A = this chain, B = another copy of it.
Amino acid sequence: MPIKLMAASRKRPGLTRAEYQRYIEFYHGTIARQERFKIDSYVQNHVIDGAFGLLSDADHQNKVVDRDAVVEISFKNFREMMETLEPAVPSAASQDGKFFANESTNIIVMAEEEEIPVPTPLTTFNPGLGIVKGVGAMKVLQYIMRDEDVYPEDYKKYWRMAHEEAVEKAPYYKEQARRVQANWRCRANDNDGAARKHFKMVDPPVYDLVVTHWFDTMEQVGAFRQYVEAMQNSAGPKFANWSKSFYLYTKQIVIIRDTPLS
């Protein structure tokens, strides 16, 4: 089944965000297209803004509070992912990270996608023919740190409860969220030494869940603010460490996405 590598990084020393995003789109992205290996699809999410932790926090508890992009590389299965990440001859892509990322602070999540139904997948504003649903130009990536007291299996359940509650308590979100996808960390290659080594990470935080929310445009992103406040105040069991959680407003850039000939 599909597995997705999600890599959140920030700019290396010497680069502006614009220079970092230029590099990953036109150099790193092009390398991936030149040496595709078993990549099924590849999208980059270029960060526009984001928030880390909670207003009630006295100081930041995220080790890094700036992220410049999250790349999502999808594979048909785990083995194809590993064949791509660790080919017999090291790939150019694997050596390219140092040219844009502050690699020691990378956060990697190997995730399996779960689509979460939304009440309003079609906009009422200029819906056109009404045949395209579940899309949006504004993509929010929400990294939620599991509360360390909570069992991973209960975490899934509690998040879903809190999500459903927040949707009801955030009417603008309920109206504006076009698509929601839960990306659950897979224990294959359990963020272990090999992964840390491959991605040059030093003591990376481990996220069990990254939720992606799509909205029509940046104009609607306030819906997410309404939702995230409702979720953080949800009545159900505590499941998240919001101080170590963060979210990013991003613009999706497609690098590899095959369109079958019709």
Taking a contact as CB atoms closer than 8 A, the residue among B14, B53, B54, B65 that contacts A54 in the complex is B14
Give the distance to chain B from A199, nearest Cβ to Cβ, in Å.
Answer: 15
Which chain B residue shows the least CB distance to A17?
Answer: B49
Q: Are A18 and B53 in contact (CB under 8 A)?
A: no
Instruction: List, in ascending order, chain B residues with CB within 8 A of A50's CB.
Output: 16-17
CB distance from A95 to the nearest CB of B (A): 15
Question: Which residues of chain B are near A156, meaning CB under 8 Å?
Answer: none
- A59 and B16 in contact (CB under 8 A), knowing A10-B65, A11-B51? no
Distance (Å) between the CB of A84 and the closest chain B CB?
26
> Size class of A's contact patch?
20 to 34
Q: Does A55 belong to the interface (CB within 8 Å)?
A: yes
- Check: A94 CB closer than 8 A to any chain B CB: no
Interface string of A86-111 (1 = CB under 8 A from B): 00000000000000001010000000
Is residue A149 contacting chain B, with contact meaning CB distance below 8 A?
no
Contact of A14 among B13, B14, B17, B51 (CB under 8 A): B51
A14–B66 CB distance below 8 A? no
Contact of A18 among B16, B49, B59, B243 (CB under 8 A): B49
In the bound complex, what is the Cα–Cα distance between A104 and B19 (angstroms)? 28
Residues of B within 8 A of A11 (CB): 51, 65
A49 lies within 8 A of B16 (CB): yes
Contact B13 A60 (CB under 8 A): yes
Q: Please name the residue on chain B nearest to A53 by beta carbon.
A: B13
Q: Which residue of B lies closest to A248 (CB)?
A: B16
Q: Are B60 and A102 in contact (CB under 8 A)?
A: yes
Rounded to whole angstroms, the CA-CA distance of A154 and B241 in the bound complex is: 50
Residue of B nearest to A102 (CB): B60
Contact among B13, B49, B55, B243 for A12, CB-based, below 8 A: B55
- A120 contacts the other chain (CB 8 A): no
Chain B minimum-CB-distance residue to A65: B66
Q: Which of B19, B55, B61 contacts A51 (CB 8 A)?
A: B19
* A254 at interface by CB-CB < 8 Å: no
What are 29 residue pairs bridging A and B, where the CB atoms are less than 8 Å apart in the complex?
A10-B65, A11-B51, A11-B65, A12-B55, A13-B51, A13-B52, A13-B53, A13-B57, A13-B60, A13-B61, A13-B243, A14-B51, A14-B52, A14-B55, A14-B56, A14-B57, A15-B55, A16-B49, A16-B51, A16-B249, A17-B49, A18-B49, A19-B51, A59-B102, A59-B104, A60-B102, A65-B66, A65-B102, A66-B66
